Structure 1
Amino acid sequence: MKVSRLIAPEGEKAQINISVRNLVEFLLREGDIDDRKGSVDPFEAMQAGSRIHRKIQSSMGPFYSAEVPLKFQIEYEDYILGLEGRADGLVLDRDESGNVVTATVDEIKGMYMDVMTFEKPVLVHEAQAKCYAYMVASEYNLETIEVQMTYVSLETEEVKYFNHVYTYEEIEEWFLTIVGIFKKWSDFQYYHKMELLESVQGLEFPYEYRDGQKKLVSDVYRSIYRRKILFMQAPTGTGKTIANVYPAVMALGQNLAERVFYLTAKTATAIAARDAYSLLVEKGYEGKTIMLTAKEKMCLCDEADCNPDYCPYARGHFDRINDVIYEVITKETVITRDVILGYAEEYVVCPFELALDVSTWCEGIICDYNYVFDPNVYLKRFFAEGKGGEHIFLIDEAHNMVDRAREMYSETLIKEEILSIKRYAKPVSKKLVNALEKCNRIMLEYKRECDHDITVLDDVDMLLNACDNLQMILEQLFKKEIKFGIYQDEVLDFYFRLRNFTALAYQQDSDHYRIYCDFDEDKNFNLHLYCIDPSAQLQDRLRMARATVYFSATLLPIDYYKDLLCNDKDVYAIYVDSVFDQKNRLLMLGTDVTSKYTRRGDDEYLKFATYINTIVNAKQGNYMVFGPSYKFLEDIQSKYSDIMGDVDVIVQQQNMTEQEREDFLLEFEKKRDKSMVAFCTLGGIFSEGIDLVGGKLIGSIVLGAGLPQVGNERKLMSDFFDENGKNGFEYAYLYPGMNKVIQAAGRLIRTKDDVGVIALLDERFRFGSYRKTFPREWNDATFTSVESVEEQVKGFWKDKE
């Protein structure tokens, strides 16, 4: 539900505004959650119905006024409740003097069903019309008013009417009852806002400021105040989480914003944000904050099947949900997954939907990037129809956003999948089979053009029309609740990809996309819409916010991220110096090895293994070794096992479960009388976002420069940036690779008490192009070799002792 809040100038009452539609849909919703009722977004159905609306409105004659704006205010002791809406149709009958004597309010609803079978209007539809009717009757002092519900089938255009005449007393009693029910919600909005504003006035920063942290807080606040985008390179230890959350909360207290979205890709950073909010609450902050979690992690059933026949939490959900929401928002402050699950179990409602509903009453929302940026799963209650707000976006671990955005705004169609869906469609719909066959024929044309590894296409115009038609046919079948048996999920997955493909195809352009086709390992023919530069797509989302802060410990070089994460050239960028003593770590660059493919072999692997062995033998403790691939790690580990002494070795496995990840990290907690070496992948689950403090890690050894594997897509990306005046190699390979290196090296020093060795082992780290990506605090890096590393490491540890 969208409720806009306005704090009035001094001497005037504050006003809370809500649309009539939102009011009745919130108060009068009822029944089950049931995903069997079709898979098409209701917003899209509404868009499809707008044509029917216009057609009916234009046929109603000269006395029929269409799309009539209506407003009504109710004054309470401390604030004014404003209702607003737009009646689909209004007919006013006037006497000879021009006075309105009777009126009819018309509410038109386009439906993907047989409206001729309706026996009465839908409750919320009729309630919306009755609100408009009361507003009209009140304005013209009418004794009676007529409500007409006009239902029209979007497929057959058949129309069914329901008419009812109300006395003024009847409609007024009903309206005041509805508004009376809502008063506890508007009271909450107003009085909670007052509490929040008051709580922020004296809210102090919860710690003693670290070096440079006060300036950091000021820079974030200034960016919010000036409606800017800020890029912040802030190393570990600078306290960047609280330094972003605190000024954002202060901005809420100054009415500069109504909501803060703290966006992250990982659970660990979400927890850090939660802790920052909890700390401010302890200091007196009264705002509400919620952590949103993916649907599959919220489901209380064995399988996420939103079907009232199987799920008790879906059955009757809407009959109970509002009572639960009110309980949560009046009793809780920092609302976590466990809090939501507790209420959902107690009240028997869907926890995922409960969390989404509660979020509309919160000033702070901690969630994944997807909820703001992904065109398929973004929070429509905040961002539908491109509507923005006085929001603040705080984007943590922002170095991840480039690849995540490319995934969000790219899509692939697979020819062989179209043929599979065609087989499933044969018993269901001849029309669907024909549409799939047409798409397949066009894909076959592209396949004939693709006579080598990768073929770039100028456009997909021919395919796009066929995809549009195919999408429409599938939607019509879903709306009629026609099923595909055991293939239903597969067909749905295909539909969502198809819908995404067509949507992106209309938006793509050669300045940001490349269209190409290739064959995968299974010889399937793929057609890709590949978003290489996601800046334009991201900027469309950033416009929905007042201000945005991109922050990370690895946001270098800053111009690379500014180019790819926004289109706005007038942005701020700051570099925060590390607060840690550089003498607490030894940073070495191994210049006599490399992970280049042309040099890989037993001799090179043995040198890498010797480096590891020498570093580990210098001091007992836990070490992490990061390699560019599982195969590379396997080859190095094989050589290391031949020469290592009494050392424990653990190895990251592919596709580890949550429990396996936890068990892996618990190995660093164990007390040992010998060293442990953990082999992990660069850019993998253990190379960022984990904190092994208090001596649990004393060495981080990086094997190679971390450059992405050379392939067709990377070459396409490199050529794209070269054509656009950038350095293609740096944008496609160097910067993404070095980001992984810096993240992996950053696992070592997490607090001022941590001590250890960082070894970056690849001759390429000598080159200026690589070293310009280094953080400032790496200015003390020393060169080393297999022959000299022992002396350097032992000397470092001797100094520390």
Structure 2
Amino acid sequence: MSRYRIAVRTLCDFTAREGDLDHRFTPAPSAQEGIEGHRLVASRRGEDYLAELPLSGEYQGLRVAGRADGFDPNANRLEEVKTYRGNLDRMAANQRALHWAQVKVYGALLCAEQRLERVTLALVYLEITSGQETLLTQEASSTELQAFFTDQCQRFLVWAEQEYTHRLRRDEWLATLTFPYPDFRPGQRPLAEDVYKAASTGRCLLAQAPTGIGKTLGTLFPMLSAMPRQQLDKVAFLTMKTPGRRLALDALARLSAPSSSPPTSLPSTSTPPISSSLSPSALASPLRVLELVARQKACEYLGAACQGDACPLAAGFYDRLPAARQAAVARCWLDRDGLREVALAHSVCPYYLGQELARWADVVVGDVNHWFDSHALLHGLAQANDWRVGLLVDEAHNMVERARGMYSAELSQQRLSRLRRRSPPALAKPLARVGRQWQALTKEVTSYAAASQRYHLLDTLPSKLVGSLQTLAGAITDYLVEHPDAASVELQELLFEALGFCRLAERFDDHSLCDLAIYGRGDAVLGLRNVIPADFLAARFKAAHSAVLFSATLSPFHYYRDLLGLPQSSVWREVASPFSACQLEVRIRADISTRYHHREVSVTPIVEALSDQYQRQPGHYLAFFSSFAYLEKVMAQFQLAHPTVSVFAQTRGMQEAERDAFLARFTPEGKGIGFAVLGGAFAEGIDLPGERLIGAFIATLGLPPFNDFNEALKARLNARFGQGDDYTYRIPGMIKVVQAAGRVIRGPEDEGTVILMDDRFAQARVRALLPRWWGRVKVLGENS
């Protein structure tokens, strides 16, 4: 019986890589181009050709499996197809050695399965632009290939045995995992039970749970408890912002620490727990925890290229990787600092060591892009290795906008023009062609539009401009292959932007809009803007064993179900709030309008509302506005009218230190009003418990601006879901409002006031989006 399974590619990545890390510019084909290249090669073979041939075998409890690209039984030839661009001679020797290792392992599996004595091994290199094949072959006997397979397996087997033992120890420890406090917080236990059920049934759960109940611990604990029973390979805790990673790591550290209090566990299920001879309180946690950070944050030599002759941590990377990898998994706890310490001790790059350890960690904490964007690391590894993954997505109310950004792209006419003026001669013609197509497009668009119109929604893709971009991308690729030393940052960025734009153009449909913004002569921006991420995300949710999305604001359910492409079996749960209506006084000022054309006259009553509440109950407040201009206007008048009240404000482009200083003003004994922008850094994700914050004023519905883009978005969402106005304006706006109001009550002892200043808050369809635990909301000035 197999004790450990591994993909052929992963096995060879582990055993056959050597030498330098080399991430210099290599014009690799896209995933779709690779798929099409494989299809092209298969179409050129005979009718008996077997493409995507599944093969597997076992060696001393190690099961190795994968899909060979193709086998021609008539020629007795096994093929491994690799697509590339440019000059094949520039491919690194260690890369080609890795390719040979893969086809040899497949050859051993094929000979064993079909009882072949000999086979021809072939590396088929397909130049993706020209379609030209280069065929490299070797004759090999079954005996030779079996010896090679045995050698690779033996080199991996020590690690495999270690991993098998680790998996057993990890699962034994998790089977006895207990909650690290004597009891759950109010609302935390129902949340944990719902997460456990979702993991046990392999479903997607949307959990709306109020701020302050401990959602991070309340989701991690049950998912980890379900891990051994559901045979999960990985748990990925995905966040929208860096502070979310810190909270997850803190919760994981708490779960791993021995508890001196009587533990609390989840209710027993019909599945008996795995018996354990190990006591988790008697040993360190065997759970491997990895924090993934962005490359620029992990880089030790900013500005140096990721290649052996430019960065000392890239030189000999693969030669030193085995020792670094072993030290890392022995350490188990690999947050940013821990990973860096291991990497530098072995003189390897921290970022790429982290990428490698994503294969071997049990819990990965990182940004949502690691699973959901088009080049997601964790999703790619899960697909390649057939992992069962449990996803936890924090602050999931941000997921719609984050996902839209992942599948959108834009191109600047000015940027292309600047590069054209100093481009190498070899790129002059393709750049000129793009320039002509830009001019033709802007001329066509402005011919039927008003002279003052800036934004233009295009009915179709500008196919000629996209075609010229594809040609330009190919020309830049060819140029950089022939002139690698000329790979300037600007030229590479243009190439990546052009390729990204063209790839999205290939998938253009009613899930996206194409628009053109014209700012002046020779200054236009062409955008492909995703508006319905569901069409891209549905497959990502399907690839996970279970996914839990949680936030304090995840209603209405249909909004997230429709726009994120959640499975039909998804369930929505609202955790009852542990807070009572008597803790929070909510008032609506229906005699104030914050609509754009009422801004001027609204300033005075807003200033009076702030002053009245402050005089009634001095303390610290936050006041939220729709824009910096609106904020500054109200604050200026407030300071004139009430110079003795301390005020401080969020400013444009605030740096991290400035944000920390802003929050530091909210001391338990302090008083004053902080002015901020709704949807900004201080409207969510900050914790000011007790007397540090006793109230909030919200002088806006948070509605996205009424403009041509949002009206086009509204029309598209209405056509798909019949919910254009709600999905474009009302729901996104109220999510921001509720998040901002959620800063006031952070714990069971907190009390405070929220004043909503706009007559539209009194409308029934708007009030229906307010949290139910708020209870009765007072409406003031409704008939004024």
TM-score above 0.5: yes
DSSP 3-state at the match of 1:451: coil
CA 1:610 to 1:473, structure 2 compared with 1: closer, same or farther past 3 Å?
A: same
Query: In the alignment, does 2:185 pair up with 1:210?
Result: yes
Say if 2:2 and 2:58, in contact at 8 Å, map to a contact too.
no
Say if 1:683 and 1:740, in contact at 8 Å, map to a contact too.
yes
Match for residue 4 of structure 2?
A: 16
Query: In the alignment, does 2:243 pair up with 1:268?
Result: yes
Match for residue 608 of structure 1?
A: 606
Say if 1:40 and 1:475, in contact at 8 Å, map to a contact too.
no
Q: Deviations over 1:574-615 (max 9, x none)?
A: 1122102332332222232221122222x5312211222222
More off after superposition, 222-231 vs 738-747: 222-231
Aligned runs of 1:604-753 on 2, under 5 Å? 604-669=602-667, 672=670, 675-724=671-720, 726-753=722-749
More off after superposition, 308-317 vs 636-645: 308-317
Counterpart amino acid of 1:352? Answer: Y
DSSP 3-state at the match of 1:704: coil
More off after superposition, 758-767 vs 306-315: 306-315
Say if 1:450 and 1:518, in contact at 8 Å, map to a contact too.
no
| Residue 450 of structure 1, CA deviation | 5.7
Corresponding residue to 2:768 among 759, 768, 772? 772
| Residue 721 of structure 1, CA deviation | 3.4
Match for residue 399 of structure 1?
A: 397
| Residue 247 of structure 1, CA deviation | 2.1
More off after superposition, 138-147 vs 312-321: 138-147
Corresponding residue to 1:189 among 155, 163, 166? 163
Match for residue 59 of structure 2?
A: 74
Counterpart Cα distance in 1 of 2:664 and 2:214: 25
DSSP 3-state at the match of 2:159: helix
Q: Deviations over 1:436-482 (max 9, x none)?
A: 35643553454345614343333216234444333333333344444
Aligned runs of 1:460-475 on 2, under 5 Å? 460=461, 462-463=463-464, 464-475=466-477
Counterpart amino acid of 1:82? Answer: V
CA 1:156 to 1:618, structure 2 compared with 1: closer, same or farther past 3 Å?
A: closer
Query: In the alignment, does 2:172 pair up with 1:198?
Result: yes
Extract unaligned runs of 5+ from structure 1: 1-12, 94-102, 789-801
Counterpart Cα distance in 2 of 1:727 and 1:83: 47
Counterpart amino acid of 2:514? Answer: I
Say if 1:52 and 1:110, in contact at 8 Å, map to a contact too.
no
Match for residue 194 of structure 2?
A: 219
| Residue 773 of structure 1, CA deviation | 0.8
| Residue 746 of structure 1, CA deviation | 0.8
Match for residue 408 of structure 2?
A: 410
CA 1:432 to 1:593, structure 2 compared with 1: closer, same or farther past 3 Å?
A: same
Say if 1:81 and 1:186, in contact at 8 Å, map to a contact too.
no
Aligned runs of 1:35-114 on 2, under 5 Å? 35-40=23-28, 43=31, 46-47=34-35, 49-50=37-38, 53-54=41-42, 69-75=54-60, 79-84=61-66, 86=68, 88-89=70-71, 109=82, 111-112=84-85, 114=87
Say if 1:398 and 1:551, in contact at 8 Å, map to a contact too.
yes
Match for residue 7 of structure 1?
A: none
CA 1:736 to 1:133, structure 2 compared with 1: closer, same or farther past 3 Å?
A: closer
CA 1:613 to 1:280, structure 2 compared with 1: closer, same or farther past 3 Å?
A: same
More off after superposition, 110-119 vs 582-591: 110-119
Match for residue 230 of structure 2?
A: 255
CA 1:400 to 1:229, structure 2 compared with 1: closer, same or farther past 3 Å?
A: same
Counterpart amino acid of 1:455? Answer: H
Q: Deviations over 1:48-82 (max 9, x none)?
A: 65367447855xx99x987665433112xxx4433
CA 1:161 to 1:396, structure 2 compared with 1: closer, same or farther past 3 Å?
A: closer
Query: In the alignment, does 2:487 pair up with 1:491?
Result: no
Say if 1:15 and 1:82, in contact at 8 Å, map to a contact too.
no
Query: In the alignment, does 2:346 pair up with 1:361?
Result: no
DSSP 3-state at the match of 2:648: strand
DSSP 3-state at the match of 1:527: strand
Say if 1:290 and 1:362, in contact at 8 Å, map to a contact too.
yes
Counterpart Cα distance in 2 of 1:560 and 1:109: 42
Counterpart amino acid of 2:185? Answer: R
Counterpart amino acid of 1:187? Answer: E
Q: Deviations over 1:393-450 (max 9, x none)?
A: 2221111111112222222233444434433445233553365356435534543456
Query: In the alignment, does 2:21 pair up with 1:33?
Result: yes
Say if 1:265 and 1:369, in contact at 8 Å, map to a contact too.
yes
Extract unaligned runs of 5+ from structure 2: 259-279
Counterpart Cα distance in 2 of 1:625 and 1:357: 46
Counterpart amino acid of 2:711? Answer: K
Say if 1:693 and 1:751, in contact at 8 Å, map to a contact too.
yes
Counterpart Cα distance in 1 of 2:87 and 2:716: 51
More off after superposition, 365-374 vs 25-34: 25-34
Query: In the alignment, does 2:126 pair up with 1:128?
Result: no
Counterpart amino acid of 1:127? Answer: A
Counterpart amino acid of 2:288? Answer: K
DSSP 3-state at the match of 1:428: helix
Match for residue 798 of structure 1?
A: none
DSSP 3-state at the match of 2:776: coil
| Residue 305 of structure 1, CA deviation | 3.7
| Residue 714 of structure 1, CA deviation | 1.6
Match for residue 301 of structure 2?
A: 301
Say if 2:583 and 2:752, in contact at 8 Å, map to a contact too.
yes
Counterpart Cα distance in 1 of 2:110 and 2:702: 68
DSSP 3-state at the match of 1:360: coil
Match for residue 240 of structure 1?
A: 215
CA 1:742 to 1:109, structure 2 compared with 1: closer, same or farther past 3 Å?
A: closer
Q: Deviations over 1:472-523 (max 9, x none)?
A: 33333344444656xx32232232232222222232322x333333324887
Match for residue 346 of structure 1?
A: 345
TM-score normalised over the length of structure 2: 0.87
| Residue 188 of structure 1, CA deviation | 2.4
Aligned runs of 1:752-763 on 2, under 5 Å? 752-763=748-759
DSSP 3-state at the match of 1:751: coil
CA 1:117 to 1:425, structure 2 compared with 1: closer, same or farther past 3 Å?
A: closer
| Residue 635 of structure 1, CA deviation | 0.4
Say if 2:239 and 2:394, in contact at 8 Å, map to a contact too.
yes
Counterpart Cα distance in 2 of 1:574 and 1:772: 17
Say if 1:40 and 1:479, in contact at 8 Å, map to a contact too.
no
Counterpart Cα distance in 1 of 2:434 and 2:148: 52
CA 1:415 to 1:42, structure 2 compared with 1: closer, same or farther past 3 Å?
A: closer
TM-score normalised over the length of structure 1: 0.85
Counterpart Cα distance in 2 of 1:489 and 1:694: 50
Corresponding residue to 1:419 among 395, 417, 423? 417
Aligned runs of 1:497-576 on 2, under 5 Å? 497-510=497-510, 512-520=511-519, 524-566=523-565, 568-576=567-575
DSSP 3-state at the match of 1:528: strand
Say if 1:225 and 1:256, in contact at 8 Å, map to a contact too.
no
| Residue 644 of structure 1, CA deviation | 1.8
CA 1:185 to 1:165, structure 2 compared with 1: closer, same or farther past 3 Å?
A: same
| Residue 688 of structure 1, CA deviation | 0.4
More off after superposition, 561-570 vs 609-618: 561-570
| Residue 228 of structure 1, CA deviation | 2.4
- Tell me which structure has the larger Cα radius of gyration: 1
Q: Deviations over 1:221-263 (max 9, x none)?
A: 2223333222221111233222222221122111253222222
| Residue 293 of structure 1, CA deviation | 1.3
- RMSD across aligned C-alpha pairs, in angstroms? 3.5
Aligned runs of 1:139-178 on 2, under 5 Å? 155=130, 157=132, 159=134, 161=136, 163=138, 168=143, 174-178=148-152
| Residue 686 of structure 1, CA deviation | 0.9
CA 1:194 to 1:703, structure 2 compared with 1: closer, same or farther past 3 Å?
A: same
Counterpart Cα distance in 2 of 1:621 and 1:205: 37
| Residue 637 of structure 1, CA deviation | 0.7
